[in-house]
Structure 1
Amino acid sequence: MEIGVPKETKDQEFRVGLSPSSARVLKENGHAIFVETQAGVGAGFTDDDYRSVGAEIVQTSEAAWNRDLVIKVKEPQAIEYKFLQKGQILFTYLHLAADRKLTEHLIDCGVCAIAYETVEQDGANKLPLLTPMSIVAGRLAVQFGARFLERQQGGRGVLLGGVPGVSPGKVVILGGGVVGTEAAKIAVGMGASVQILDVNIERLGYLETLFGSRVELLYSNSANIEATVAQADLLIGAVLLPGRRAPILVNRNLVKQMRSGSVIVDVAVDQGGCVETLHATSHTQPVYIEEGVVHYGVPNMPGAVPWTATQALNNSTLPYVLQLANQGLEALKNNPALAKGVNVQNHRLVHPAVAEVFPDLV
């Protein structure tokens, strides 16, 4: 099969769909790999790195896109819509619940669009291709939050770890899944005071075995959200409903109650976000201030650490890419987890969670 790897076009997205080591495995299995020139440079991979494993370097985006299977990291941008074609398999992050325009175009063009974030292992409730980037994003959320709490960045000048004689900063995390857990690890390591809110009692029990008394674990309801968010120096949105828009847990009135210069980092922004006042930003302009609070809403946070993120992503995606390359669409019949990743196929919106968001497109 011909496999294309275009250069990412989203703002400051330096990850790449296939690393040279992944390209080598695919080549060894008899497939032809076409990598757009400079596609891997941001992640530390040169064109020669790809040539050395048998990939062909092509000079244009169109040459990389015009293949049977296209492997990316982020959803196609508007300038890439013209490259999508009937019968093509696209394998990447899509987050369609927050992007009606892209959803409509994927339906119209006839591509088979498989989303990393909705590949789900049967019976395990696991999202194997979302997990590695959730780990990265969770850890980065505290790293970025700490930066923007600095006075020079518009924050209130709080050191999360505090110092002897001065209270540490307060970190509130909405959601105790992978993102929330990883964020808590970093926040605890920095010496912050940490609270996690979640609706899953079983998950809270697991987190207690992980953190003990170092983290305050609270059931997520309106009263607890209001009490904790108002006192937070750093609020992290870590809510995930696979394929669906994130619910709004923090309304504008609650944001108004936060202290001036506190920071919100919503990792759920690529699914619409769980904070009413937060909208998507970019690595070029990552923050804005609303109601006196610094808002960070970059939807491709792991793009800030592309060397780490690309390899972490490839470690998880390669087995699925290999199945698609070897078997084509038959892989969807042979692998139920991969089949659940299909969002659009044969001009139809087929993923049930996305269909709930856009019922008129079904």
Structure 2
Amino acid sequence: MSAVPRKPANPYYFGPPTDHFDGVRFFNPGGVEPGTLKDVWKWQTNGQKSRWPKKVELPNPARPADHVKGADLRVTMVGHASMLIQVAGINILTDPVWSTRASPLSFAGPKRVIRPGIEFDDLPPIDVVLVTHNHYDHLDMKTLVRLNEEHGPHFVTPLGNDTIIHNVIPEAKMSAVDWGDRLDYWDGLSIIAEPCHHWSARGMNDRRMALWAAFVLETPAGRIYHIGDTGFHDGINYRAAAEKYGDFRLAILPVGAYEPRWFMKGQHQNPQEAVQGFRIVNAAYAIGHHFGTFQLTDEAIETPVHDLAIALEAAEIAPTRFLPLRAGEMFDVPDR
């Protein structure tokens, strides 16, 4: 009689314990764990959720050029955490979501209130896709399948997320990275995975079984620091990045989905914390994202932009240095 194979404790990743992996689950060293189901219920029944509009008009979808070369650096906002970064002749998409909902379900879950800022058919040739973690507002398999079919990009994602993607797209070109790993596959581009303070889950039973990460892009046009999602975590990861890299031409920082603070503080920084991080990491310019597309938390749709303006004024930082990009907006980043 043959033994029944045991289901692996972690279906996404198997490896030795590290300072941020206990053999089954990933964790934030010295950080906080995400809230419990009891906490979620307390939040969902607090009666403080603002009413968002059902639809926001997109004035003009962007039509990006095929490439940006030389010392130029251009970022175009698709929406939420989805952006097109064009630098050194390479086109990079971050956390691409073109789906109507950020959800495993087509009929329920957060629904986008504004169309993508770039029509999918208007995308230039995509070389690299960065997926920072596996929450549905960042890892959208429907979009990744279409990108693979029409562009065949190189997917770069933290440990464990490669399994999720390969289960659906087995032929995808993929690099799975741990914090500190460096990729040098492209002329003019290096990608390094760095820590951020977040968590992961696709369902009820896989919490923290795939890693989350920020990415540093080293290019001839300067360094870019991109974070898909993070709690401020006393600025620990910002200080580490500043010490390791010195400075950045551009930081791409989340500024939305942060209320109520008692529940969201560990996983989503607010605009005031984003401004602190911007200063700590020695960035010349910043782009704010993670707002205005899907209602994930309690704050009103315009609150992140309003709070960011107040935080910049209090810090005596010109608003032209830290732009909350809306869908369809394009930012040609000045030379440092």
Bigger share in strand: 2
Bigger radius of gyration among the two? 1
